[in-house]
Amino acid sequence: MNKKTPLLALTSLVLGAGLLSACGSSETSPAAQPSTDKNVHFLYNFSTSSLDPHVDSSYVPLRAGITETLVRLDEENLTVAPWLAKSWESEDGQHWTIDLRDDVTFQNGKPMTGDSVKASLERALQESPAIQNALKIDTIEAEGDKLEITTTQPFPEFASELVNPNTAIIDVSEPDIVNKPIGTGPFKLTSFTPGSKLELDRYDEYWDGASPLDSVTFSFNEDANARTLALKSGQVDIVYRPEVESLDSLKAIDGMTVESTSTFRVHQMTMNMERESIKDLNVRRALDALIDRQGIVDTILLGYGEAAIGPFLPSLPFAPTYDKTASQSGADVAVNYLKEAGYTLENGVMTKDGKPLQLTLLTYSARADLPLIAQVFQSDAKKIGIDMQIRQIDTPEDYMASNRDWDLATYSNLTAPRGDAGYYLNATYHPNGALNFSGSEDPELTAIIDELNLTVDPEKRAELAEKAANYVHDNILNSFVLHPGTIVAYNGKKIKNWVTTRSEYYMITNKLDVM
């Protein structure tokens, strides 16, 4: 079911050829004038038309090493670690003191001070309602290299929310933040072609030690096959999420390294709770039962992932332990749930009150497996008389937030990028959540999340997170398909010190090097 038709293969080949041409084009070819510069060319799967770090949902400025946040995630221990901030403390969870590093400069040479950090955070709050909701900041005061921040309510997890790439610290006095943000990271932007690539040079005065690289090219292509072709041809050095079907051929290339790691990500089926049919719990149960999770992992991801029951990886300390035997699935189970919802299967069509069950399913191509999941789901739905129309969209966050003319959406979400359950639960199920595309507004669930936000004790937090996740599971507020592995392939004969992170935040660092 995941084999390409000749037309699709030809399309991918054309796209790949276009990428190879774009990646290799220059006024003087490398063959004619060999370069002694140490450069890495990184190819990413999401494009962006804006580098404004406070609103860019692709997080490219952070991933490309331009910007940094006050704190970062320690992925080994699932704790928050210092970055631009040396330390932070609060006695009541509402009044916070943050001590900043005093040896940091922006890429224009200006020192990072309390005032400049204050201005950057205030701009993030102004530009992004999602950041306003996430940080809950009331006031910020700066004195020297110290910040005093008061939140609107006691918020013990405030520091972990500062991991968010949209809180990145930049020099807001610069005139063109959209196209040339000035951050504190190891690489400064030299050029940006929206939707195509960034060119970056080493920032020699980087506070944590200058990179051994001279430059980095950070380019985009949303076609997985084209990304693979670019790596095979040697036009790029590192590819994020190559085509899964190509991994065996990549591994067969001498010196090629292919890495896969479990992440904090889940592919989910987002339910639009504002649609009449989806409001019915039995309809949601039917759709959930129709998802062939293990079959999708085996055939579409070729085993590079694991079937999901809830949003959190089972290995995380706040993930519930589900009774797998209690969850039935399959077409017969789905049909029975639909019967309970008042539907009947007549002449191969699932109807209720004489009207066929017709659903619109959104998907997007930047994650190559999502359209394939949509096609499999559409095929399985058709077998029990559901007319499911697939609609391709470009930017899922923008579309789902602005339009309500859809019933379901394949969507991929980082559920624990801060090392805690609070981010996902707040963003996805709280009425004010930035990723609450389902329109969920459940008072009982909101109360659990609100209590979680006020709770400090780790064991109590884990208990509340499990309670919330179980509530989502029992009420099928969304369906969870699988936890994909993050796959990265690179030229192992050239690249040194690449790390495939679980959070997917930290990519181009000052440790990255070439042989």
Per-residue confidence at 6, pLDDT binned at 50, 70, 90?
very low
Contacts from 244-250 at CB under 8 Å and sequence distance 24+? 244/300, 244/301, 244/302, 244/304, 244/368, 244/369, 244/487, 245/2, 245/302, 247/302, 247/304, 247/487, 247/489, 250/489
> Is residue 137 domain-resident?
yes
Please tell me whether residues 68 and 148 are part of one structural domain.
yes
What's the pLDDT tens digit per position in 135-188?
999 999 999 999 999 999 999 889 999 999 999 999 999 999 999 999 999 999
Rounded Cα–Cα distance for residues 361 and 370 (Å): 11
Please tell me whether residues 479 and 499 are part of one structural domain.
no
Tokens at 76, concatenated? 């080994």
Please tell me whether residues 378 and 451 are part of one structural domain.
yes
pLDDT at 434: 86
> Is residue 323 domain-resident?
yes
Strands across the sheet with 95-100, in order? Answer: 85-89, 95-100, 146-151, 137-143
Rounded Cα–Cα distance for residues 424 and 161 (Å): 11
Per-residue confidence at 35, pLDDT binned at 50, 70, 90?
low
pLDDT at 75: 87
- Cβ-based burial of 490 (10 A; exposed 0-12, middle 13-18, buried ≥19): buried
Overall domain count for the chain: 2
Per-residue confidence at 24, pLDDT binned at 50, 70, 90?
very low
> Is residue 109 domain-resident?
yes
Q: What is the mean pLDDT of residues 275-293?
A: 97
Please tell me whether residues 224 and 296 are part of one structural domain.
no
> Is residue 400 domain-resident?
yes
Note whether 389 and 360 are within 8 A (CB). Answer: yes
Please tell me whether residues 287 and 401 are part of one structural domain.
yes
**Best CA proximity match to 362, nearest among 398, 429, 402, 407:** 407
> Is residue 240 domain-resident?
yes
Decide: pTM greater than 0.85.
Answer: no
Q: What is the mean pLDDT of residues 474-486?
A: 95
Per-residue confidence at 263, pLDDT binned at 50, 70, 90?
confident
Asked if residue 332 has pLDDT above 70, the reply is: yes
Please tell me whether residues 341 and 439 are part of one structural domain.
yes
> Is residue 380 domain-resident?
yes
Please tell me whether residues 332 and 473 are part of one structural domain.
yes
Please tell me whether residues 163 and 195 are part of one structural domain.
yes
> Is residue 5 domain-resident?
no
**Best CA proximity match to 170, nearest among 326, 52, 50:** 52
Per-residue confidence at 325, pLDDT binned at 50, 70, 90?
low
**Residue % of the chain over a pLDDT of 70:** 92
Rounded Cα–Cα distance for residues 159 and 157 (Å): 6
**Average pLDDT score, the chain:** 91
Backbone phi, then psi, for 46, in 5-degree steps?
A: -120, 130
Per-residue confidence at 86, pLDDT binned at 50, 70, 90?
very high
Q: What CATH number does residue 401 fall under?
A: 3.10.105.10
**Residue 368 belongs to domain spanning:** 265-485
Per-residue confidence at 23, pLDDT binned at 50, 70, 90?
very low
Please tell me whether residues 287 and 422 are part of one structural domain.
yes
Please tell me whether residues 362 and 342 are part of one structural domain.
yes
Lowest mean pLDDT among 35-39, 117-121, 228-232, 353-357: 35-39
Q: What CATH number does residue 510 fall under?
A: 3.40.190.10
Helix/strand/coil percentages in the chain, nearest 5: 30, 25, 45
Backbone phi, then psi, for 135, in 5-degree steps?
A: -90, -30
**Best CA proximity match to 107, nearest among 191, 164, 190:** 190
In 3-state terms, what secondary structure has residue 491?
strand
pLDDT at 368: 87
Asked if residue 514 has pLDDT above 90, the reply is: yes
Asked if residue 361 has pLDDT above 90, the reply is: yes
Rounded Cα–Cα distance for residues 101 and 113 (Å): 9
Please tell me whether residues 278 and 200 are part of one structural domain.
no
Asked if residue 28 has pLDDT above 70, the reply is: no
Please tell me whether residues 373 and 434 are part of one structural domain.
yes
What's the pLDDT tens digit per position in 199-255?
999 999 999 999 999 999 999 999 999 999 999 999 999 999 999 999 999 999 999
Asked if residue 324 has pLDDT above 90, the reply is: no
In 3-state terms, what secondary structure has residue 133?
helix
